[in-house]
Chains A and B, each alone.
Chain A
Amino acid sequence: MTESLDDERRELTTLIESALIAAFPALARNYYADLRNQLTKRLFGMITTIAAGHTGEFPDAWRSGEVYKNSEKRFLTEFLDSLPSVSGALSSEERDKLDALLAHGMGAADVRLPETDREYAVNRFRDAMKLYAGLTKVDKELGEEAYEERIASLLEALEHRFKTASYLELRTILIQSLESAELNLRPYQLENVADQLLWLFRDYFTVSEELRDEIYERGEQRILISTFDPAGYPQTARRTA
């Protein structure tokens, strides 16, 4: 029984290797033996996980397709992560040279980023290039796809960083503006008003143009009540009338 199971495992392993070589002929070369073995093991694990789900170990997850999707995702992530090593590790001199070139390229393209973001972009850009170099040795199209994905993810991360930095700067400007109005508020109250205004800005720009005035007035009323008269702004309004 054990021998038969081992035979089946060996047969499955051989089939996976053949399928990999059929998909990526370059993997047949001795140069990629380690990578080929790694990928075969991963695929074997993925298939046995799926089989376990199919035989009833995770029936609900199997029916919903989660087992397959999760296994596939894990496999692809590990596959992609294993690839930069295919192109060989860069020496520190090579890395510095590449980083300098990338930073110079960004400067020439007039990409104005804060120093930390520039360093982050250079690192991610370099990794994307290594991934591309590694993958294109196996399959050009796969390399291009992976490169584009990494660059899209880099741009998304940079946009997020940029928005966070811009958001914090706008918050600071709001606090300074509130200070210049000399409202006799404590620092924590100024920060609270600034945060409420930022939320209001988001709501204001989320609705259609016709609703903006109404949304702003309601938000403003809430801010005035919570800032100046927690018991209810209309009382203050009557006093000021």
Chain B
Amino acid sequence: MGETIRHKDSLENVKNDERAIELLVAIFGVKEKDARELWQRKVIGTLVKMRKITETREGSND
């Protein structure tokens, strides 16, 4: 349970990384809302999926 909360907190920090959103806007020349959509929904979604795969693998190795 403690593990899950810790990962949730760290991903929350990633999600709120405003600098990443600023850089997406600067590099790709897109609107802030599009950069925010990519970072806060898509990228975070990918990280959650990756974390789940890792947890499942760790569980099956125990």
Contact = CB atoms under 8 A, between A and B. Distances in A.
Interface of A: 162-163, 166-167, 169-170, 173-174, 177-178, 180-184, 197, 201-202, 204-205, 216, 220, 223-224, 227-228, 236, 239-240
A202 B28 contact: yes
A182 B4 CA distance: 11
Contact of A180 (B10, B30, B42): B10
Binding site of B, secondary structure by majority: helix, strand, loop or mixed? Answer: helix
A71 to B, nearest CB: 38
A181 B38 contact: no
B14 A180 contact: yes
Interface residues of B, number: 31
Given A201-B28, A223-B46, A173 B19 contact: yes
Nearest to B26: A166
Given A177-B43, A183-B50, A224-B46, 19 more contacts: A162-B26, A166-B23, A177-B14, A178-B47, A180-B10, A180-B14, A181-B7, A182-B10, A184-B58, A204-B42, A205-B34, A220-B49, A224-B49, A224-B53, A227-B50, A228-B54, A239-B60, A240-B52, A240-B56
Contacts of B58: 184
B51 A170 contact: no
